[in-house]
Structure 1
């Protein structure tokens, strides 16, 4: 296993600490180093800046995030409908404040969610969505399992993928959304690229990474879908981290360039992987 230093990044959200990104040649993947002990990880999420655990709409960035989230909710459910027209049991791992589960439930799915963050679970409960802290009924088989920007946060990566395989019904589908470090905006912003988000993001994937990790557990990627809005939001945060002036104009420009280049290369800022069991 060949590993070399790729880049050094800063935690811009909570601590200001520096972390290295180490390239794993076998998996074509970047690994955050050092990785905090699992029991210390929650401290890195204790910030009002960490918006996926809140419903905040205080700043322009917050409002933009919430607006894009609503658009993406519809897109996500449409992707699921296309792959799994028959509605069944859906599990969302890393459910945040429950908006996706609420939307899927309204579309006719029976939903369950997992979210370790207590604050986010309370917000979900206020919307009428009950989310568990951890998975308790592991014998249940799910027709759809979703992890929207969650896999990169999981300390025990291979164990998590093995669990996904065990939870998935034979004809079920997994939807994994993760940032793509091979995108144009990642290469342009380098250590300021907001989607590195160290140390909360422990793993940084390419298409090869995801394909190989899931193939090792007898699952295969059947489709890859773009998340076109991510390049704009990530570029805006990246410009903020750089301390840029006119950051909205610069972010819009970089986000547009990233998406235009990705039309040729397929390397969008974030990608959704549609995964099934390899029969």
Structure 2
């Protein structure tokens, strides 16, 4: 276990914030500390070996029935960020490759990274295990990180590599859970999207903007919602306060294995459906306030002084 006492992004001494945050899969307890300077949250301790926390229970069926909707929305964001003809796209943390398959069908040349690349490679995709394997500089028109940055060991190193891989007019799209959002603040350790220790870092807007800027990237557009992430963030987090077994409604919706009895399953499904509908006004308000459950930013390379004078 690694117990850092300084911020990964800016080096400031960390301050404790949440001393007891449960891992919903293993039941182990972790803490979240925050940086008083850039406000980046850190999971403590950070396991040296994360493999036991990425089991079959984690992988696969992350979106359930909303998978197609999620992919279509993300493709729309890419089209808005990169208008004109499709170019070359890299998806970091591409999972089973479903987003890349859709982007390829839309005309993009695609590549990806994933710790376990086998499922995505089975779809005929060029997927490698690490960003470092794409050695050429400035080769991608678009790089996407859909809920992957919070899993990375070293935020400055990762974003610096990403900046180097972007073409001068390329765009990076990053989506992360919003640790400064209303549901994160309301539910604290019970928040669905805290997901320690897989989420090694926790971003609010200030922390994400600082991390991008230091890496030579300039934010251009901010969004504050991914509908299904945000909606389930409200309902499942509320259920986590009511039920002993965490994330049961989420597991049932996505077809994941769970050991709960029939009574707990029935309560989770019935209460979860009701809470999901009741959460719609909260989702709308938090989005309007810019305090939703998800942060999405479109960023580009910061021009050098020489580029600025051209």
Judge same fold: TM > 0.5, yes or no: yes
What does residue 229 of structure 2 align with? 230
Partner Cα distance (1:133, 1:218) in 2? 24
**1:12 maps to which of 21, 24, 32:** 24
What does residue 132 of structure 1 align with? 128
Verify the 8 A CA contact 2:231 2:283 in the aligned structure 1. Answer: no
User: Is 1:179 aligned to 2:177, yes or no?
Assistant: yes
1:211-251 CA-to-partner distances (Å, cap 9, x unmatched) read 11111122111001231221222234324533444132124
1:87 positional shift: 1.1
Distance change in 2, residues 1:66/1:247 (3 Å): closer
What does residue 217 of structure 1 align with? 215
Partner Cα distance (1:258, 1:81) in 2? 29
1:143-182 correspondence runs (5 A)? 143-182=141-180
1:220-259 correspondence runs (5 A)? 220-225=218-223, 226-244=225-243, 245=267, 246-254=271-279, 256-259=280-283
From the CA coordinates, give the structure whose radius of gyration is larger. Answer: 2
Aligned CA-pair RMSD? 1.7
Partner Cα distance (1:224, 1:28) in 2? 18
1:120-169 CA-to-partner distances (Å, cap 9, x unmatched) read x3322333334222232311511100000000000111100110111111
1:90 positional shift: 0.4
Give the secondary-structure state (helix, strand or coil) at the position aligned to 2:134: coil
Partner Cα distance (1:3, 1:265) in 2? 28
Partner Cα distance (2:130, 2:215) in 1? 22
> What are the ranges of 5 or more consecutive residues in structure 2 without an aligned counterpart?
1-11, 244-266, 304-310
Partner Cα distance (1:47, 1:126) in 2? 18
1:57-136 correspondence runs (5 A)? 65-85=63-83, 86-117=85-116, 121-135=117-131, 136=133
User: Is 1:265 aligned to 2:289, yes or no?
Assistant: yes
Q: What TM-score comes out, normalization by structure 2 length? A: 0.79
Partner Cα distance (1:83, 1:176) in 2? 12
Verify the 8 A CA contact 2:89 2:110 in the aligned structure 1. Answer: yes
Verify the 8 A CA contact 1:6 1:22 in the aligned structure 2. Answer: yes
What does residue 201 of structure 1 align with? 199
Q: What TM-score comes out, normalization by structure 1 length? A: 0.88
What does residue 50 of structure 2 align with? 41
Identify which range, 70-79 or 97-106, moves more after superposition.
70-79
Aligned residues: 261
> What are the ranges of 5 or more consecutive residues in structure 1 without an aligned counterpart?
56-61
1:278 positional shift: 1.6
Identify which range, 123-132 or 108-117, moves more after superposition.
123-132
